A = this chain, B = another copy of it.
Amino acid sequence: MSTFWSEYPEIEEKLIFVKNNMLEKSKSSEKYLDRSFEYLYSTGGKMLRPAFIIIGSLFMKQKLNEEKDKLIKDLASAVEMLHTATLVHDDVIDDSFLRRGKEAIHSKYSKEYAVYMGDYLFSESFLILSDYNIPRDVMKNLAQGISTICKAEMLQNHYRYDSKVSVEEYLKVISGKTAALFGISLSLGANQVGIEEEKTNKLYEIGNNIGLAFQITDDILDFTSDEKTLGKEVKSDIIMGYYTLPLLLAFHSENKDELQKIFEKDNMNESDLDQVFEIVRKSGAIEESKKHAKKYIDKATNELDKFEDTKGKQILKAILPKILKRSY
């Protein structure tokens, strides 16, 4: 696991359980399959979504009883497995060879294997959920969450190679692709420990805004980090036609003609891509993107300030700046 949570032992400890739990729940009777899941989970990550479920549950002042504690950890495992499923499928599609600094599943095993591994993770996470008498609306919420992610990914795919995509359309994509599951996770954790509806709805909004800021920051990092820091191939998005906020803003800036000229080429080479990066940076698109991200973090902070003091509120407030300032 990444060191993102090392300052928060109450989160880190549960995330370690979640990780082992995921491995346990993914076990089949086939050694070959089990080894591939061990590999998959060993690639780590910040585990933000399961952490958000745990943080949501910490908006309750009372300590959770054993039963609730188990439920929260299982829900966190299910959500991380759902998220991992979408990552494995993303990698198949993007043809990325690295994920979190390690070889991607489809590259280490095969594309076919990765597609089914993702499907298997989907069904196993629903299997965890079906172990509880989870209310219909919660199941619905989660299924809707995945369906929202997929719709957004299909939409993103539809927008490929389109430099005219508006900021609004981009926000719609990342809202579905990333932010929805952040919102669902935070509110679901709170809902399951008995926080009242009005507050869980607010937490959904807060999670959603954090998710938007997180994704925008991710997209900015593609233009400001080098491959080594980020651990994935940063230029592949552009080649594959996925234009994120910094590039879209540059396409709407004074430098658009200069940029368009490069994109009119049949095959962009490494030096073309370097030039694209250069133009994006000098166009002011990075700063403008950062403003967007900050706006969503500010929104989340304002709403969060209205909550009474709880461990959940404290931790969430503490990590907000880290969402914006991370370099990986």
Q: Determine if A115 and B130 form an interchain contact, defined as CB atoms under 8 angstroms apart.
A: no
A117 within 8 A of B: yes
Q: How far, in whole Å, are A130 and B110 apart by their CA atoms in the complex?
A: 33
Q: Which residues of B contact A116 (CB under 8 A)?
A: 89, 93, 150, 153-154, 157
A275 within 8 A of B: no
Q: Which residues of B contact A120 (CB under 8 A)?
A: 147, 150-151, 154
Q: Determine if A136 and B126 form an interchain contact, defined as CB atoms under 8 angstroms apart.
A: no
Q: How far, in whole Å, are A27 and B119 apart by their CA atoms in the complex?
A: 22
Q: How far, in whole Å, are A36 and B93 apart by their CA atoms in the complex?
A: 19
Residue in B closest to A121 when the chains form the complex, CB atoms: B150
* Interface window among A44-52, A138-146, A192-200, A287-295: A138-146
Q: How far, in whole Å, are A154 and B29 apart by their CA atoms in the complex?
A: 13
Taking the closest CB of chain B, its distance from the CB of A107, in whole angstroms, is: 15
Q: Determine if B119 and A93 form an interchain contact, defined as CB atoms under 8 angstroms apart.
A: no
- Of B126, B146, B157, the residue contacting A119 (CB under 8 A) is B146
Report the contact-size class of chain A (Cβ under 8 Å from the partner): 35 or more
Q: Which residues of B contact A124 (CB under 8 A)?
A: 143, 147
A77 within 8 A of B: no
By DSSP majority rule, is chain A's interface helix, strand, loop, or mixed? helix
Q: Which residues of B contact A33 (CB under 8 A)?
A: 151, 154-155
Interface membership of chain A positions 277-297, coded 1 if the CB is closer than 8 angstroms to chain B and 0 otherwise: 000000000000000000000
A118 within 8 A of B: yes
Q: Determine if B118 and A143 form an interchain contact, defined as CB atoms under 8 angstroms apart.
A: no
Q: Which residues of B contact A127 (CB under 8 A)?
A: 140, 143-144, 147
Taking the closest CB of chain B, its distance from the CB of A35, in whole angstroms, is: 11
Q: How far, in whole Å, are A115 and B36 apart by their CA atoms in the complex?
A: 20
Could you list 8 examples of A-B contacts with CB < 8 Å? A30-B151, A32-B154, A33-B151, A33-B155, A119-B146, A126-B146, A129-B139, A130-B136
The interface of chain A, by Cβ under 8 A from chain B, is 28, 30, 32-33, 36, 85-86, 89, 92-93, 110-113, 115-120, 122-124, 126-127, 129-133, 136, 139-140, 143-147, 149-151, 153-155, 157-158
Cβ-closest 6 pairs across A and B: A120-B150, A123-B146, A130-B139, A123-B147, A93-B112, A126-B143
